[in-house]
Structure 1
Amino acid sequence: MASIDLNADLGETVGGVATADDEAMFAVISSASIACGGHAGDAASMRAAVQRATRFGVAVGAHPSYPDRAGFGRTRIPIAPVDLRASIAEQLAALEAAGAGIRYVKPHGALYHSVTRDRAEADAVAQAVADLAQRSGRAVPILGLEGAIADAAAAAGLPFVREAFLDRGYRPDGSLVPRGEPGALLDDPALVAARAVRLAAEGRVEAVDGSDVGTGAASLCLHGDSPAAVAMARAVRAALDAAGIGVRAPW
């Protein structure tokens, strides 16, 4: 692959306190998935993220979640599809109000995984994104893993972009190792950088059992709130540059 997108989940302030070094991360990524109030973030953090994106030439994506600030969006909560659609729409509107021209939407946390399995929730997310696309007059892709959300995006007339994670462990079936289980989180910059090059060049990643998993990913993610996030991001960018692989947003 001649180029690949490198994205990070940013703007995730809690109580006005940043959970990541956004300034350092924006300097090396091509797309930023910005928290828009569901699990983290507020009006000030969204405005700051949009300003950084403009300064560094980074594409802005929305990172909506279940309305779950108490659990940082990492717990699946019972919610009717109509209410989920309204919540996602509210979060997207909040990021727009901060000055963002939203280029893509990536669900966060528990919602990210739920919409790979639950078609009703996937449709609710896709419909909210389709409303945004109609309002903005341009295509707004959904970024995620294969599953119900890819089908829901297609049904709503939206592009779907596959993502792979550089700092998360994979199971042989292509799903992520759940947080808290052995091998779920990676923090070695050299290892993560090597994964990035292979994912960009071959579209494959090694699972926790040593088997190979194909991803077809056009975007690679690093979590901004990891303690080693900045070191990993810089190592990834250097490795991709050395391999002659450009880092560019596809939207």
Structure 2
Amino acid sequence: MAHPSYYAPTGGHPGQDQLLTDRAMFTDAYAVIPKGTMRDIVTSFLPFWEKTRLWVLSRPLSGFAETFSQYIMEVQPGGGSDRPEIDPQAQGVLFVVEGTVTLTLGRDVHVLETGGYAYIPPGSDWALHNRAQDTARFHWVRKAYETVPGLDIPDPIITNERDIAPTEMPGTEGRWSTTRFTDPQDLRHDMHVNIVNFEPGGVIPFAETHVMEHGLYVLEGKAVYRLNQDWVEVEAGDYMWLRAFCPQACYAGGPGRFRYLLYKDVNRHMPLTLSKR
């Protein structure tokens, strides 16, 4: 199976002759960060990472989405880190959208190509480097792991999208499907990062209104997305950030497939005091 095509930002700046008008918006219920906002001036850097910059797409905000953070990492040839994560409670998911990275997890070495996925449990000893000749770009989703007495910490997962058959949503004849990297029945996991796929004409036919927070990065195609009371046009490279209970739906009008990387928090009791979040 050939690699799908994923959009990845490259930075740069628009010319002084360009209009300021864009699709960026931040509301009480959701945010839309269009690909056109991911410029050089808004990149960040991290301790112990060499030849690397990143775009921060989301971070916990009190009163908004509070469970996760998501980065797009850009690592130049020869770059990377022997100490990538400094929070021992943080678990992570990596998803490669361009290039190749070498992930060392414990004693095991994995080469993640485009479409590569890695789940990294909290407290892991890991490192990541770009040993190839081209720039590598990947998503890094981080969440503080919520331990449960009697449940073990999840095992690492290393795979590639091309090796996973999408699961069709019932009654959709394949127009709406999900590529699942984690077994939904494995309650050790308190977050899922999947790929949602729509064929042209596919829809989410009701306004999903639920407790899970979301980060949605459009990998491919375009669609109109219902966010709270608004219909918003989105395309490859755009990011949507949804707080809990924000109504959401989708219509993928084509002409090609519409696909996005989706984060959601799962499988845990709701904290009953704010201090536990």
Q: Same fold (TM over 0.5)?
A: no
**Is the helix fraction higher in 1 or 2?**
1
TM-score (normalizing by structure 2): 0.31
Larger Rg: 2
Higher relative contact order (CA 8 A, sep 6+): 1
